Amino acid sequence: MTFEGKLERYDGRAAWLYVEVPELIGAPGPFGMRSVTVTIAGETFTTKLWPMKDPAGRGFLPISRALCERLGWEVGKTRTIQLSA
């Protein structure tokens, strides 16, 4: 799956960066999380895709601050993201 994802920030007690994913892919594991391989601007890594409590079947893709710094990716900006299960 390839899509345009906007970097967002959750400002709760433990602030974190994420991209909303339009649909979940892969087999669900504990707590509904799914293992995925992600490619953003030539950077490839594996992580867990978290389900949203949403009838549309969307998910959250956590993004590390280190990756954002390497890519110069700021909150509110979009990037092309490729996911595979």
CA angle 21, 1, 64 (to 5 degrees): 50
- Rounded Cα distance between 38 and 27, Å, is 16
* Secondary structure of residue 8 in the 3-state scheme: strand
Q: Quote the number of domains for the chain.
A: 1
Looking up residue 39, the CATH number of its domain turns out to be 2.40.30.100
**27 neighbors 34 (Cβ within 8 angstroms):** yes
Range of the domain at 68: 2-84
Rounded-to-integer distance, Cα 73 and Cα 13, Å? 22
Task: Please say whether the dihedral angle defined by the alpha carbons of residues 81, 34, 68 and 8, taken in this order, is positive or negative.
Answer: positive
pLDDT in tens, the chain (85 residues): 999 999 999 887 777 899 999 999 999 999 999 999 999 999 999 999 999 888 888 999 999 999 999 999 999 999 999 999 9
> pTM of this prediction?
0.88
